[in-house]
Amino acid sequence: MSANLVIDFRTYPAGHVMKTSFAIASQRFDAIGGAAGHLMVHARENDIGLGFDSAGLRIQLSKSFDQLELKVGSFAEPVTLSALDAMGTLLHQQQIQPPNKIVAVALNVPGVRTLELTGGTNEGTLFELAAYFSERDLSFRSS
């Protein structure tokens, strides 16, 4: 199954400082903590990703997806991944341990509208977000 939506940060140069709130493909990315948050593009493990500080990164999805896959790097302390529904109810939470490499994380949790990545002692990095719809939902398709 191919992803209906894939977001990565490879078009940005390493060291590029992102705004504390921005959108890519109608998905909203926010530094948790607002203006005090820090989001910067990093080059790690032969890839480019969005680094976030310990307060974290919040991703508000434009709709619910059936399956999500993230590529996340934790290069110091563990990063906590939280998945919430549209009302802010916690649906799933897990820690991504710091093996000093990029880890693929699959979420098969229906109803996710918000993802939060926190912790990591300022060395957490999101490299890619892929989202999948069921075949019955044709309301959004990226080309």
| pLDDT of 137 strictly over 60 | no
pLDDT tens digits, 77-88: 999 999 999 999
- Compare 82 and 44 and report the one with higher pLDDT: 82
Average pLDDT, the chain: 88
Q: How confident is the model at residue 31 (pLDDT cuts 50, 70, 90)?
A: very high
The pLDDT value recorded for residue 38 is: 85
Average pLDDT rounded to a whole number, residues 18-42: 90
CA 47 – CA 49 distance, rounded (Å)? 7
The pLDDT value recorded for residue 135 is: 53
| pLDDT of 141 strictly over 50 | no
Beta-carbon contacts of residue 142 (< 8 Å; ≥ 6 apart): 4, 5, 6, 25
Beta-carbon contacts of residue 65 (< 8 Å; ≥ 6 apart): 4, 5, 112, 131, 132, 133
The pLDDT value recorded for residue 138 is: 46
Domain boundaries, the chain: 5-64+81-124
pLDDT tens digits, 65-104: 889 999 999 888 999 999 999 999 999 999 998 778 899 9
